[in-house]
């Protein structure tokens, strides 16, 4: 009697599922290609994959690029996908923190323009190294711009000063 060592058909992923997984790996590879070299250095990538990613920049023909992306997808199967995903998650978390910090600074800017001296005192208490004269002047000018319906040039300058003071 002949034994069949292959797994039953219902345990193997379908051909469609395999294609979806391959496309997902290609998409992940495209994300890595779009990154700068400094960003890519954070990822646990093999030398072979790094060489293929660098090679992508030289390929201009559409069909050649498509085949090369399939090759990168194939190489991605050998990579530490959990490690790569962990780095992507860390980058996303850093971006969220930066976004929250910018929203906080935007609230400071709006509060400084709306409330004036009370908010200035609070801001200086939080950031004592602030150039007070420049801060007050930008607040006055931004308030005047808002009242006259002009473009928010000084409000942008105020935001820049706040961002530099906060160290972001």
Q: 64 with 118, same domain?
A: no
Statement: residue 1 has pLDDT above 50: no
Q: 161 with 101, same domain?
A: yes
- pLDDT on residue 3: 53
Q: What mean pLDDT is predicted for residues 4-25? A: 76
Statement: residue 168 has pLDDT above 80: no
DSSP state of 9: T
Q: 58 with 116, same domain?
A: no
Q: 38 with 103, same domain?
A: no
Range of the domain at 152: 93-166
Q: Per-residue pLDDT tens for 112-166? A: 888 888 888 888 888 888 888 988 999 999 999 989 988 989 999 999 999 998 8
- pLDDT on residue 6: 54
Long-range (24+ apart) CB contacts under 8 A made by 103-109 are: 105/159, 105/162, 105/163, 105/166, 105/168, 106/159, 108/162, 109/155, 109/158, 109/159, 109/162
């Amino acid at each position: 009697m002949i034994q069949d060592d292959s797994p039953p058909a219902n345990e193997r992923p379908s051909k469609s599922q395999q294609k979806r997984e391959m496309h997902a790996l290609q998409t992940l590879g495209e994300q890595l290609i779009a990154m700068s070299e400094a960003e890519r250095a954070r990822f646990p990538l093999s030398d072979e994959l790094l060489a293929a990613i660098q090679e992508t920049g030289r390929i201009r023909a559409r069909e050649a690029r498509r085949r090369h992306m399939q090759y990168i997808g194939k190489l991605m199967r050998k990579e530490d996908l959990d490690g790569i995903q962990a780095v992507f998650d860390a980058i996303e978390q850093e971006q969220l923190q930066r976004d929250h910090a910018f929203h906080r600074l935007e609230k400071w800017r709006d509060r400084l323009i709306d409330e004036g001296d009370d908010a200035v005192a609070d801001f200086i208490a939080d950031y004592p190294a602030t150039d007070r004269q420049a801060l007050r002047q930008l607040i006055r000018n931004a308030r005047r711009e808002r009242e006259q319906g002009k473009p928010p040039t000084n409000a942008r300058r105020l935001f820049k000063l706040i961002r530099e003071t906060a160290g972001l």
